[in-house]
Amino acid sequence: MAAMTDQVIIGLLNPGEMGATVGRCLTAAGHTVLWASDGRSEATARRAAAAGLTDARTARRLADQAEIILSICPPHAALDVAWAVHGFTGLYLDANAIAPGTAREVAQLISSNGGSYVDGGIIGPPPVAPGTTRLYLSGEHSDKIKDLFTGTGLDPLITAGPATAASAVKMAYASWTKGTAAMLLAARALAQAEGVEETLLAEWALSQPHLAGQSERAAVSGATKGWRWIAEMEEIAHCMAEAGLPDGFHQAAAEIYRRCPRLPGATVNDDVLSKVLGAITG
């Protein structure tokens, strides 16, 4: 049962797989959640309907009606989404996989027009049950967002540190999970290019028995989600550079995902690994 909070009108930009599931957490708690169908696909409309979202038609109408706006979109679109509601004076949560520097740009855009900004970062799959997915929050008004999600399928956690600490947590976490997945694909691509892939797989079976399956799962992720991770790797590279660390690891990871074929709904049974490696080595 969700925590008892006053019911509020919330705008959600934009209900992709993650965003729609987050929106469902809020509608299940009794809140009205708006989305904007203008320019969106039929698939997005179906997700929004399944999550119980209410169509405000345009981002501007959504901003006029909502008290709180949540931005959950691919990282390359984070600034454009904020611009779409330019002038919004309520509470704006950016929960995208962006570097702290980018988060500060979004915060400046929102606050310059009288709005309030909360930084966020989601770690885990789309939240369908408590205990699987965390929403890290930072900034002055984090407690208001925490209250919305307490008791729902998305676990809110306030992060100590600067106003963009939540984005930093997301960057550090994804730098390993998605960065190493790209490196694993590159390792198999190298072995394939040199004609020693079977030998590498045999050695992995002896010394690193988890890596063959892990590389297959990385290939499926690269084919189905990699297009969204290009900008995320670039944001991590930006974050690393800002911290005085080498950014080359994640610039290379972005390039690996850029070369992955886009195969929505792919599975290991589709021999997706050979398609991914072919794209990388070709």
Q: Are 185 and 215 in contact (CB under 8 A)?
A: yes
Tokens matching residue 23: 């929106």
pLDDT beyond 50 at 4: no
Binned at pLDDT 50, 70 and 90, residue 281 comes out as: confident
Same domain as 148, residue 40: yes
Can you tell me the distance from the alpha carbon of 247 to that of 190, in angstroms, rounded to the nearest whole number?
A: 21
- Run of H or E residues at 71: strand 68-71
Whether 2 is in a domain gets the answer: no
Same domain as 193, residue 74: no
Please write the tens of the pLDDT for every residue from 260-273. Answer: 999 999 999 889 99
Q: How far is CA 277 from the centre of its chain?
A: 24
The count of other CB atoms within 10 Å of the CB of residue 41 is: 9
Mean pLDDT, the chain, integer: 95
Range of the domain at 191: 168-281
Which CATH number does the domain housing residue 199 bear? 1.10.1040
Of 141, 162, 183, the last residue of a domain is 162
Whether 158 is in a domain gets the answer: yes
Same domain as 252, residue 228: yes
Whether 1 is in a domain gets the answer: no
Mean pLDDT score, 241-256: 98
Half-sphere exposure of 138 (CA within 13 A, CB side): 19
The reported pLDDT for the residue numbered 14 is 87
The whole model's pTM is what? 0.93
pLDDT beyond 50 at 106: yes
Same domain as 147, residue 217: no
DSSP state of 85: T
